[in-house]
A = this chain, B = another copy of it.
Amino acid sequence: MSSDSPGFELPLRLFLAFRVLIDALHDELTHRGHPDVRPMHGYVFQAIGPDGTTAADLGRRLGISKQAAGKTIDTLERLGYVERDTDPGDARRKIVRLTDRGTDCLALSARIFEQLRAEWAQTLGEDRLRALEADLRSVTPAEPFLLDVPGWFGNS
């Protein structure tokens, strides 16, 4: 049936490849002291950045409401990955910053991703992998962020 057509296979393989990487990352993170981080948290960490941000700004960057961003921050604060700090220059704002644990997790994720990429390079060959990355770059928008995954895929 139609599910065997190459057109149907391509998006499926792209998603599965993404998922293989993310699952491997989080298996490894779990074994190295970060069992509670969820796939999207890594991208939240990157969106927060080294200088911190605010709930409203984080929501803008992630494409969700500031309230939803606030709830995510609540969760990460409870897990010890971020901390809120009052902005001395603007009494309305509360700066969200990565804690040491958050920074560690982000750096560890980077190392694990490098390792996973190295494994792919061994399987595919470095040239093929570089070609794959170049091809993906040429069919995707340059602008990175905006991971509103939950909801986007959802049922109705």
Contact = CB atoms under 8 A, between A and B. Distances in A.
A5 to B, nearest CB: 6
A97 to B, nearest CB: 14
A155 B8 CA distance: 29
B144 A12 contact: yes
Q: Is the interface of A mostly helix, strand, loop or mixed?
A: helix
Given A39-B152, A150-B153, A14 B136 contact: yes
Contact of A18 (B3, B14, B72, B115): B14
Interface residues of A, number: 69
A107 B113 CA distance: 38
Interface in A131-146: 131-133, 135-141, 144
Contact of A14 (B17, B41, B155): B17
A133 B2 contact: no
A149 B155 contact: no
Interface in A104-156: 106-107, 109-110, 112-117, 120, 123-124, 128-129, 131-133, 135-141, 144, 147, 149-156
Given A7-B117, A10-B120, 6 more contacts: A6-B133, A8-B110, A17-B139, A38-B155, A72-B155, A75-B155
Interface of A: 1-3, 5-22, 25, 36, 38-41, 46, 49-50, 71-72, 75, 79, 106-107, 109-110, 112-117, 120, 123-124, 128-129, 131-133, 135-141, 144, 147, 149-156
